[in-house]
Structure 1
Amino acid sequence: MLTFDGERIPERVVHAKGTGAFGYFEVTNDVSKYTSADVFNGIGKKTPLVVRFSTALQNIGGSDLGRELRGMSVKFYTKEGNLDLLCLQMPVYLYRDPIFFLNLVHAFKRNPQTHLFDFTAQWDLATQRPVINHNFFWTLADYGIPNGYRRMDGFPIHTYEISNKNGERHYVRFNFRTEQGFSAITSAQAAEIQSTDPDYFNRDLYNAIEQGNFPAWKLEMDMMTPHDIQNVDYDPFDVTRLWKNGTFFTVQIGRLVLNKNVENQFRDIEQGAFNPGHLVPGIPGPPDFLFRGRRMFYRDTQNYRLGRNHNKIYVNMPLYAKTYVRDGRPPTRLNMKNAPNYYSNSFNGPIPYVDEKRPREKLQVLESNAIDLEPLSYFYNHILEDEAHRQRFIENIFMSLVPVTPPVVQRALKLLNLIDRDLGRRVRIGYEVALAQSQAERAAQATPPPNLPIRNFPTAEGPPEHPPTKGAHSIRIL
């Protein structure tokens, strides 16, 4: 029992509820002129991998059907080390300043008093820090509840620098496009499914793989040259916006296929440690400030959850690893046996890796705190492909505003009007109707129905109105 008391590790602060599977990545196109990364070179080459899918806000026992962000974290076990691509089902992120993350999580998690998800806090932050609204719009549209993990895309968000064997650079955004075809479910459909199967996403993925319907995604990269980067009329490193059509070209890389369910969720998924700082030669990584913060924060949280040796847990181990880190808390594996534990040495100990082909020039990215509402207007008028989708989006907005305090509602309506007058007008009308209906329902619930029968409850002096059921347990205090 004492072992049982302390056997659990802390759950993740975000992305706690999830599932995953093993599979492989197969190269289908020659991209050697863009990157020297071994994992993406050699048509037909297969690389083993593990993928973890998750909801962002739910606790481990929560529902898969909430309207929120979802993650798709991919760990490639390459010959040059592990490559981790941490994706969302949205192509835009929530913020640019890495320190803002803690405020965002506090606002979008549970209220400290009611312990309920709090729309007032969410809209309060959204109106105070409008940078989050582009992602918030994607969440409130149909993209907020995909029809299972198999039918959603994955976007690693950042603009990555990649380089070829000659040190020539390109800048790319990776995209995992589902081969099952993207599809979504409405809020009403999600509520109906949730009433009978809150683990719908996890069950759907597991059953598909067990039945041999292996889910697959095409990996492609939208690409710009260094010349393009410096001549576009927007910041291509801004993770809160899309690249504009006509400013990039797209290159296919290969296919990701999941063909094996895990044997033990805790061993293979709960202990999984994904870090955007896990990169390989040929992919130097994103140069933006958000990435600099994330590659530190992820390792720190994994040290807290799993311990300093979390990279020696089986699911996190690279194919080949030599290190001077040893003698710590388990797991230590072979602890490097009798290899010298100092550097430099004369006995073939590991040596630091230097990528001689990495570009020698560094790109300096100058970032701005200014908020541009144009991407949100573009989303409303062009990303939402038809009037039916636009109406569902508006309904999700004004229904989320009904429980919000009036001052925050007025700020939200003003912001929506600045984004697009038609959007602001339609949300205001829908909000007023929904608020009136909500107030009428509360008034009806507060008035007791007429002619309710009055039940006489027993008093301390008399016997109960009905005797105990025959055979029921009774307790006597002696």
Structure 2
Amino acid sequence: MDTVPTYTGAEGVPYASASTAQHFGGNNIKGLMLLQDTQLIETLAHFSRERIPERVVHAAGVGAWGEFEVTHDISELTDAKFLNGIGKKSKVLLRVSTVGPERGGADTIRDVRGWGMKIFTEEGNQDFVFNSIPVFFVRDPIKFPSLNRSHKRHPATNQGDPTMFWDFHNNNQEGIHAIMALFSDRGTPKTVRHLNAYSGHTYKITKEDGTFHYVKVHIKTNQGVETLTNDEATRLAGEAPGIHGVDLYESIAKGDFPSWTFFFQVMTPAQAENYRWNIFDMTKIWPHSDFPLIPVGKLTLNKNPGNYFAEIEQAAFSPSNMVPGIAPSADPLLQARMFAYNDAARYRLGVNYQQLPCNRAVSRVYCPFQRDGSMTFTDNYGGDPNYIGSDLKPINYKGKFGAHGYKIGGHEEWIGSVVGFTSEVVDDDFVQARMFWDMLGKQEGQQEHFVYNVACHLKGAIPQVQEKALGMLSNVYPVIAEKLRVSIGNLKKVAPLN
């Protein structure tokens, strides 16, 4: 059997050459091209359309395939099938990204890393959308677009702007712990293999009998945490901007499969009602001394994509994709993201993005009330009714998703009534940042690294924004602002034009 493919056009018609074109003028370089040359016209037309909109955030990323394996029995906590049965394995697609830069941005830039993970289970797709820091910058969903704009390019100069970054955070200080984590010496992972990920969001894990617990998810590298200094990261951004993608691809190609351990922090409803911090506040962690990490499973990446665009660029992740046994909480940012992520995929990939191989569930999908639309490439449910309440096609119903009177895990009534609300920054918002600074003080040189990293970034902001940022950081400890003022002054002496 001939294994060499025969070249054709997109409609399957064979062509004698991929490099010639028809023109009027004889066998000579000069001449007029012919509109009848379908191959030339299609080649040029497709080239102009082969890009899709990049992600508004998390545009620059790397990815691979792997598996999730259950290593510990947590059946008393959840009925989710992919989490039950020690040794059970599920296929996984993982994408790790920076947040602010466009596609092609340097992998080593000081930025939060996003962690998009799709677990293909017999009950549907379970997605997790995590970050490399355990807390987030804001807790009010209406601030989410502004947060990301402030980390991107200035509308006039089209350049990254430290003034925008610090101006936003000076006036929205609830995420001070996240800012400190970003500028710590652990802010830039050496490689994807040395990265930890955290849910930030609070989820529910549920049982059929109605019992449930609140959880936060931690994913810890089995390769050990290794980071780059600010200067190393800056150098590599110029010398090897795609170093994380190269490292991940080559590690998997040679059989050195990176792995991570999954942990849950678990809290009962009664504990949630009486805990010191609002458990739905994404700017707060649950200290491990209060809620220890419980091991759950292991993630291993063991297969590179055959084609990056098809398998990674077209991948779509959303926290709204939850299987039975996992449910959303009253976390405001989680609620907002459950809409925003799927809506971003509809814009970027089209309304039928779930049909793409990299997103398609391995369980049977029968959803005849969502059909048609651009780029449908299934049988579109044939002649089955596309409206509810038909006697022409029997349908079985299972589970409680969308059922009449169903509450997702219960316990919603303790939260309160509907009001117009925005959170206010209070002294309690700085407590965990103080804990973080004190922790850095127990590790030789870490407080100095933090001050240097912040100073390198903050010195690029205009003076009035610098002063307000120093005031914000003095709310953590006045000594931090004092050290920063000295460090910024020293950096300006070295590089007066900056």
Q: Which residue of the partner structure matches residue 377 of structure 2?
A: 332
Structure 1: any 5+ residue segments left out of the alignment? Answer: 443-478
**1:90 correspondence with 2:133:** yes
2:123 to 71, 75, 80: 80
Structure 2: any 5+ residue segments left out of the alignment? Answer: 1-43
Distance 2:431 2:410 in 1: 36
Report 1:250-399 matches (<5 A).
250-319=293-362, 320-324=364-368, 325-346=370-391, 347-349=393-395, 351=397, 353-355=399-401, 359-365=409-415, 369-371=423-425, 372-383=429-440, 385-399=442-456
Q: Which residue of the partner structure matches residue 461 of structure 1?
A: none
* Of 206-215 and 98-107, the range deviating more from structure 2: 98-107
* Of 41-50 and 373-382, the range deviating more from structure 2: 373-382
Q: Deviations over 1:345-388 (max 9, x none)?
A: 34333647525896344354368713221111111112564141
The aligned amino acid for 2:388 is: Y
Distance 1:368 1:249 in 2: 31
**1:243 correspondence with 2:286:** yes
**1:198 correspondence with 2:238:** no
2:65 touches 2:94 (CA, 8 Å); kept in 1? yes
Q: For the structure 1 residues 300 and 145, does the alpha-carbon distance in structure 2 shift closer, same or farther, using more than 3 Å as the test?
A: same
SS at match of 1:67: coil
SS at match of 1:50: strand
Q: Which residue of the partner structure matches residue 157 of structure 1?
A: 200
Q: CA RMSD for the aligned pairs? A: 1.9
CA shift at 1:186, angstroms? 0.4
Q: For the structure 1 residues 67 and 421, does the alpha-carbon distance in structure 2 shift closer, same or farther, using more than 3 Å as the test?
A: same
Q: Which residue of the partner structure matches residue 461 of structure 2?
A: 404
Q: For the structure 1 residues 234 and 203, does the alpha-carbon distance in structure 2 shift closer, same or farther, using more than 3 Å as the test?
A: same
1:429 to 486, 489, 498: 486
SS at match of 1:71: strand
Q: Which residue of the partner structure matches residue 148 of structure 2?
A: 105
SS at match of 1:316: coil
1:26 to 65, 69, 80: 69
Q: Which residue of the partner structure matches residue 448 of structure 1?
A: none
Q: Which residue of the partner structure matches residue 454 of structure 1?
A: none
* Of 82-91 and 413-422, the range deviating more from structure 2: 413-422
Q: For the structure 1 residues 349 and 329, does the alpha-carbon distance in structure 2 shift closer, same or farther, using more than 3 Å as the test?
A: farther
SS at match of 1:274: coil
1:219 touches 1:254 (CA, 8 Å); kept in 2? yes
SS at match of 2:412: coil
Using the size of structure 2 for normalisation, the TM-score is: 0.85
Distance 2:412 2:122 in 1: 26
Q: Which residue of the partner structure matches residue 470 of structure 2?
A: 413
Distance 1:424 1:26 in 2: 46
The aligned amino acid for 2:371 is: R
Distance 1:383 1:233 in 2: 23
Q: For the structure 1 residues 132 and 255, does the alpha-carbon distance in structure 2 shift closer, same or farther, using more than 3 Å as the test?
A: same
SS at match of 2:468: helix
1:6 to 49, 65, 70: 49
* Of 253-262 and 350-359, the range deviating more from structure 2: 350-359
Distance 1:280 1:403 in 2: 46
2:95 touches 2:117 (CA, 8 Å); kept in 1? yes
Distance 2:55 2:411 in 1: 38
Give percent identity, aligned residues only: 33
1:71 touches 1:86 (CA, 8 Å); kept in 2? yes
* Of 46-55 and 128-137, the range deviating more from structure 2: 128-137
Distance 1:192 1:125 in 2: 28
* Of 392-401 and 347-356, the range deviating more from structure 2: 347-356
* Of 265-274 and 354-363, the range deviating more from structure 2: 354-363
**1:181 correspondence with 2:224:** yes
SS at match of 1:276: coil
SS at match of 1:53: strand
The aligned amino acid for 2:435 is: Y
* Number of aligned residues: 441
Q: For the structure 1 residues 431 and 281, does the alpha-carbon distance in structure 2 shift closer, same or farther, using more than 3 Å as the test?
A: same
The aligned amino acid for 2:492 is: L
SS at match of 1:195: helix
SS at match of 2:245: helix
